[in-house]
Amino acid sequence: MNTNMFKAGDEVLAADSYSTVNDIPIEELPLPVDFVWGAATAAYQIEGAAYEDGKGRSIWDTFTHLEPSRTNGENGDVTCDHYNRMPEDVELMASYGMDVYRFSIAWSRIIPLGGRNDPLNEKGIAFYNDLIDRLLAHKIEPVVTLFHWDTPQGIYDRYGAFLNTTEFRADFEHYARLCFSRFGDRVKKWITFNEPYIISVFGHHSGVLAPGRSTANGGDSRVEPWRVGHTIILSHTSVVQIYATEFQPSQFGTISIALNSHFYEPWDATSSVHIDAAQRRLEFYVGWFGDPIFLGKDYPASMRLQLGSRLPEFSPAEIELLRQSVPINTFYGMNHYSTKYARALPDPPAEDDCTGNVEEGPTNNKGEEIGPASGMSWLRVAPVGFRKLLNWVWNRYQLPIIVTENGCPCPGESQMTLEQAVDDKFRSRYIGLYLDAISRAIYEDGVPVQGYYVWSLMDNFEWSAGYGPRYGITHVNYNSLVRTPKNSASYLRKTFRERRVARQE
């Protein structure tokens, strides 16, 4: 790999381009001896048991049963049935040698209607207590996400959830306190929200994810995404304050948020217009949430300039709360899968634009692809971009980074036989290359990356794509629900056993 094309923190230089994943060399570079690895999942995607033991409905239970279907005619009613097969799944994690397991709590499983005055569901609470205890018994650290997209339908029906900042913030505070009080004696790493960009844009702009709001169906794509994002930032900030003042002194844990983003290369690396567009796209994607949460300041100037009054204002009291919360966010959770080219659009932005007036795609002005395609056309193998994003985030926020999601489906995997799917060389190469990028970021660039959580522990319900894409390091037969480890699971166990070494000075 031509690393001399890259300088730490310089996001404007061109990425390498390869025709196949096999063209990119894996070097199996070292990682720190205390670097941790594990796998990540989300409750709605794996738990199933959608109506068992008192669980309430979430917006995803509703969204996946709409007619006509918006999820490929499929739903998460059963999915991997992790709720009933959890002990088997923990044994599987232990066999992989995982250090950590990141999972989310289904809000409506422990507070079926979601609100601060609604009854609790002790059976749901008991499930997560059992999961946490089993993980710890196998020396696997639980990393808990409070919210991974599955808003209780009860609070959505009452006030539109994120669209009402005051009400949602109060209900989320109550829910978080419940989780901290019931699980925090054993859980030492918390994530408030998973991918607020996706909640805001895909749920309330394009409407392709639950709750499916857009201008086309009664929403307002011009303003609602920004209102939702504002609610998330303030709700996150309130909860980290609650944790710091009420729970951290006795529980000694840490808390933060998981932000997702592609990295963006300029469509034309010789043009300042497209170089600026790549930077602006990152600010509209990462800076939107990162600047208020990790810097305690207003939204990026590029957003204020384009969006004007559509972007909510922080009150002086809210800005002060953001500033006070900065040191409480003790790590940056990074969900990252791929890199794209960013091209500045020549015309003024549309009224509902949420990109910074940028077109993104897999090829540049010379027709060169950013990298080989995986099983999803948008997900290209581009480890150079990953390294650049690690640098961009570190240079901007100065926080240690945990890669809270990273992975891919193999090309054609959904049509493979079991034998073919288990022999997932493409996924293993992808992981190996991205781990090399982490090593370079740590040792050559000085970026403190602390861990890597592969997405995902097992094949599961992939939101609007249903059961098509398979991201798991474990194959799941969706008829029999039999789990079969893929070769990537063995690769991960072996590579972390061999890569983690004390640094030689």
Does 12 have pLDDT greater than 80?
no
Query: In this predicted structure, what is the pLDDT of residue 376?
Result: 97
Q: Give bridge partners of residue 455 from the DSSP assignment.
A: 40
Does 9 have pLDDT greater than 50?
no
Average pLDDT for residues 133-156, to the nearest whole number? Answer: 98
pTM of the model: 0.95
Which structure tokens are listed for 242?
């609650």
Question: Minimal CA–CA distance to 403: which of 368, 365, 441?
Answer: 441
Average pLDDT for residues 481-497, to the nearest whole number? Answer: 98
Q: Tell me 111's DSSP state.
A: S
Do the beta carbons of residue 219 and residue 302 sit within 8 Å? no
Question: What is the gyration radius of the CA atoms in the chain, in angstroms?
Answer: 21
Query: In this predicted structure, what is the pLDDT of residue 19?
Result: 64
Question: Minimal CA–CA distance to 41: which of 188, 194, 170?
Answer: 194
Query: How far lies 265's CA from each of 72, 132, 140, 287, 466, in Å?
Result: 32, 41, 37, 16, 30
pLDDT in tens, 40-70: 999 999 999 999 999 999 999 999 999 999 9
Query: In this predicted structure, what is the pLDDT of residue 23?
Result: 81
pLDDT band, residue 504 (cuts 50/70/90): low
Coil/strand/helix, residue 100: strand
pLDDT band, residue 22 (cuts 50/70/90): confident
Average pLDDT for residues 251-258, to the nearest whole number? Answer: 98
DSSP string, 362-420: SB-TTS-BSS-B-SSTT-B--HHHHHHHHHHHHHHH---EEEEE---PPTTGGGS-HHH
Query: How far lies 337's CA from each of 116, 151, 259, 262, 434, in Å?
Result: 36, 25, 12, 7, 9
Do the beta carbons of residue 72 and residue 464 sit within 8 Å? yes
Average pLDDT for residues 275-297, to the nearest whole number? Answer: 98
Residue 110 class from Cβ within 10 Å (0-12 exposed, 13-18 middle, 19+ buried)? buried
Query: In this predicted structure, what is the pLDDT of residue 401?
Result: 98
Domain boundaries, the chain: 3-501
Distance CA 361, CA 349 (A): 18
Do the beta carbons of residue 390 and residue 401 sit within 8 Å? yes
Active-site annotation holder among 11, 47, 195, 413: 195
Do the beta carbons of residue 210 and residue 60 sit within 8 Å? yes
Average pLDDT for residues 136-164, to the nearest whole number? Answer: 98
Does 16 have pLDDT greater than 80?
no
Distance CA 461, CA 463 (A): 6
498 is an active site residue: no
DSSP string, 291-320: IIIII-SPSPHHHHHHHGGGSPPPPHHHHH
Average pLDDT for residues 74-89, to the nearest whole number? Answer: 98
Coil/strand/helix, residue 242: helix
Coil/strand/helix, residue 357: coil
Q: Tell me 152's DSSP state.
A: B
Average pLDDT for residues 260-266, to the nearest whole number? Answer: 98
Average pLDDT for residues 418-424, to the nearest whole number? Answer: 98
pLDDT in tens, 116-132: 999 999 999 999 999 99
Share of the chain above pLDDT 70, in %: 96
CA angle centred on 201, ends 196 and 206, rounded to 5°: 155
Q: Give bridge partners of residue 254 from the DSSP assignment.
A: 189
Which structure tokens are listed for 191?
């994530």
405 is an active site residue: yes
Query: In this predicted structure, what is the pLDDT of residue 358?
Result: 98
Residues 438-455 as b or e (16 or more Cβ within 10 Å = b): bbbbbeebebbbebbbbb
Does 167 have pLDDT greater than 60?
yes
Distance CA 477, CA 81 (A): 11
Query: In this predicted structure, what is the pLDDT of residue 18?
Result: 57
The CATH number of 3-501, from 3.40.50.11890, 3.40.225.10, 3.20.20.80, 2.60.120.330, is: 3.20.20.80
Q: Which residue would you say has higher pLDDT here, 10 or 202?
A: 202
Question: Minimal CA–CA distance to 358: which of 265, 257, 253?
Answer: 265
The amino acid occupying position 77 is: D
Active-site annotation holder among 360, 405, 413, 462: 405
pLDDT in tens, 351-410: 999 999 999 999 999 999 999 999 999 999 999 999 999 999 999 999 999 999 999 999
Average pLDDT for residues 204-230, to the nearest whole number? Answer: 98
